[in-house]
Chains A and B, each alone.
Chain A
Amino acid sequence: MYDLGEGFLYTTGRVVDAQRIGQRFCRLKLRLGRDLGEVSPFQFIMAGLPGEFEIPLTVSMYNREKLILDLFFKVREYSTEKLCGSVKYISLRGFYGKNRLNLVIGDKVLYITEDLGFSSLPLLISWIKKNSKVLDVIMVFENESEIFEVAKLIDMDFGGRIVQCIRSDLEERLELITKSTTSNTWKTILAAGGRELLKKACELAYELGAEGVIAPYTRIKCGIGACGYCIIPRTKYLLCVDGPIFKCSELASYLGLEHGD
């Protein structure tokens, strides 16, 4: 289709498959009208139905040769219900955000994620494998049925350790995993989630002498750095164009970290 410039792309995706996993999750497979370029873990796309709605969704996987885009997401309101329903075409703008992984990710990574963070996992696993890195994962869920449903959604056989727990058990699991013999070999603690989880991850990184890298959640309206709604509070960073991932030190004032690195 067309291209306004670096990273500014619009296309229509034809729905190849829309699969509902349990009550809360959806796996959407789309064939794109044109190549949207390279994408790296945590980058996102604006997806929607023209005239009705548009939401940011993290890219779960993208095959550039076949133009197949996978989006895994939680179904929880009208827009996600509709995307996982019987629609034939979906409007897509993206990919948005920067590829900063090469700059910030060390050889051995612990990824801590909650809520929507599972969406980025397939692409992250693929990137980790391609770049000869090692990944351990802690996934935090609202309840046990979510654990079961996400297991059906994502191929967890990637060689690293994976810990799935519900939110109330997080502290205990974190303590267990960080006291294990492997904890001091993590070069990067990567986290996606709400402010509290990110703060915890950054503090853990600081404690272990690892690089803390985080993907915050915020509201995104335009995706191109114009409207300013995705500003990370108390920083000069717009998630849509400066993110979606940041070093902990960059967001220290947002997280209220005592140490800046």
Chain B
Amino acid sequence: MEIDLSIEVLGLRLIHPLMNASGILGHMPEHVDILKSYGVSAIVTKTFTLKPREGHKEPIIVELPNGGILNSMGLPNPGIIGLERIIKSAKSRNIPVIVSVGGSSIKEFSEVAIKAEEAGANAIELNLSCPHTKSYGLELGQDPLIVYEVVREVSGSIKIPVVAKLGITDRIIEIAGKALEAGARALTLINTIKAMYIDIFAAKPFLSNIYGGLSGPPIHPIAVRVVYDVYREYEGIEIIAAGGAIDWHSVAEFLLAGAKAVQLGTALILKREKAIPEILKGLYVWLSELNIKSLKEVVGLANRK
């Protein structure tokens, strides 16, 4: 039986639903070749801000005993000056590119998004949920009105699709609704979750920033729950899931919960070139077992009433 693993999201026809999560490489042209070798169907860049950012000083990452990774990069990026090179590099290799955009003000979000569109981006993902950078991300994204304002302003300034990347908050359903109402074509759910790790011999937080974003398998059940709830509330919307998808099984859960595409972070760090082929093979066998011909048929299936 022929099985179709392609999907359509953000107006793009992708050969399969797997892309990298923002923050996994994605700010230098050389990264495009690496991500291509991993087999992503689209590249999501590191979050770009208007001006270059150095990010936090090391230690910025730690591998945790529970299988998670805690990072506090601090949104390092070359600023909009670096956008053109990476987009050009992706385009020359025929890989769609979604530019992650950050900002500490509505104006900054908008200016970066405009530059990204001019440089040839296929879509914009607004980082409204980074949990570890002051004045950016979640500090803005936990307020439904700010989310509404940012998405509306950016959507009104560019023609390419806008995705709102939202993090875990108590008001996620309301915030998702505001983002959609303001013109978001899709939602990326979820970002890393604010967390910390203490070195017990030094008796100090390990990361220089104290707090970081937890990713990897420990957050996967939380991300599945959020995708499920948001899809149930706003049926038919486009969701790109992110959060601890490490194998085909965890990707399948996301699809059944309502995601059209899935972003990988920890899986690409751990398995690199092996991650995506393994997941695609697993999805293929799973769909064959269920006698389902297209991946599109399983999207949101767990939500059926």
Binding site for B on A (CB under 8 A): 1-6, 8-10, 12, 14, 33, 46, 48-55, 89, 91, 93, 221-229, 231, 233-236, 238, 241
CB of A12 within 8 A of CB of B201, answer yes
* B58 interfacial contact with A, CB 8 Å: yes
What is the distance, in angstroms, from A15's C-beta to the closest C-beta of chain B?
11
Digit string of B51-73 for contact with A (CB within 8 Å is 1, else 0)? Answer: 00001011111111101010101
A-B contact count (CB 8 A): 115
- Which of B28-36, B141-149, B233-241, B249-257 participates in binding chain A? B28-36
Interface residues of B in 269-290 (CB under 8 A from A): 269-270, 272
What is the distance, in angstroms, from A109's C-beta to the closest C-beta of chain B?
29
What is the distance, in angstroms, from A19's C-beta to the closest C-beta of chain B?
22
Closest 6 CB pairs of A and B: A2-B65, A54-B59, A50-B199, A54-B58, A236-B33, A228-B25
Residues of B within 8 A of A4 (CB): 63-65, 67, 69, 270
Residues of B within 8 A of A91 (CB): 59, 199, 202, 206
Instruction: A231 to B57: give the CA distance in the assembly, Å.
Output: 18
What is the distance, in angstroms, from B242's C-beta to the closest C-beta of chain A?
14
Digit string of B148-174 for contact with A (CB within 8 Å is 1, else 0)? Answer: 000000000000000000000000000
Query: How many residues from B make CB contacts under 8 Å with A?
Result: 42
* B298 interfacial contact with A, CB 8 Å: no
Residues of B within 8 A of A54 (CB): 58-60
CB of A51 within 8 A of CB of B207, answer yes
CB of B61 within 8 A of CB of A222, answer yes
Digit string of B163-201 for contact with A (CB within 8 Å is 1, else 0)? Answer: 000000000000000000000000000000000001111
CB of B272 within 8 A of CB of A225, answer yes
CB of A231 within 8 A of CB of B208, answer no
CB of A236 within 8 A of CB of B37, answer yes
* B26 interfacial contact with A, CB 8 Å: yes
CB of B201 within 8 A of CB of A46, answer no
Whether A46 touches B199, Cβ cut-off 8 Å, given contacts A225-B272, A235-B30, A238-B34, is no
User: Please, could you name 18 A-B residue pairs with CB atoms under 8 Å apart, sorted by A?
Assistant: A4-B69, A10-B62, A12-B200, A48-B59, A50-B59, A50-B198, A51-B202, A51-B204, A53-B58, A89-B201, A91-B202, A221-B60, A222-B71, A224-B69, A227-B76, A228-B28, A229-B76, A231-B28
Residues of B within 8 A of A46 (CB): 58-59
CB of A50 within 8 A of CB of B30, answer no
Residues of B within 8 A of A9 (CB): 63
Instruction: A51 to B208: give the CA distance in the assembly, Å.
Output: 4
Instruction: A165 to B199: give the CA distance in the assembly, Å.
Output: 43
* B27 interfacial contact with A, CB 8 Å: yes
CB of B76 within 8 A of CB of A50, answer no
Binding site for A on B (CB under 8 A): 23-28, 30-31, 33-34, 37, 46, 55, 57-65, 67, 69, 71, 73, 76, 198-202, 204-208, 210, 265, 269-270, 272
Whether A53 touches B60, Cβ cut-off 8 Å, given contacts A12-B199, A228-B31, is no
Residues of A within 8 A of B202 (CB): 12, 49-51, 89, 91
Instruction: A69 to B208: give the CA distance in the assembly, Å.
Output: 25
Residues of A within 8 A of B59 (CB): 46, 48, 50-51, 53-54, 91
Whether A227 touches B64, Cβ cut-off 8 Å, given contacts A54-B59, A91-B199, is no
Residue of A nearest to B202 (CB): A50
Residue of A nearest to B207 (CB): A51
CB of B24 within 8 A of CB of A226, answer yes
Residues of B within 8 A of A6 (CB): 270
Residue of B nearest to A232 (CB): B30
Of A50, A229, A233, the contact of B205 (CB 8 Å cutoff): A50
Instruction: A52 to B205: give the CA distance in the assembly, Å.
Output: 9
Of B24, B206, B269, the contact of A50 (CB 8 Å cutoff): B206
Query: Given A54-B59, A227-B73, list of 12 further CB < 8 A pairs?
Result: A4-B63, A4-B64, A4-B270, A50-B198, A51-B208, A89-B202, A91-B199, A222-B60, A226-B25, A226-B71, A231-B34, A233-B30
What is the distance, in angstroms, from A40's C-beta to the closest C-beta of chain B?
19
Residue of B nearest to A79 (CB): B58
Instruction: A225 to B198: give the CA distance in the assembly, Å.
Output: 23
Residues of A within 8 A of B63 (CB): 4, 8-10, 93, 224
What is the distance, in angstroms, from A79's C-beta to the closest C-beta of chain B?
9
Instruction: A33 to B201: give the CA distance in the assembly, Å.
Output: 10
Of A51, A223, A228, A238, the contact of B61 (CB 8 Å cutoff): A223
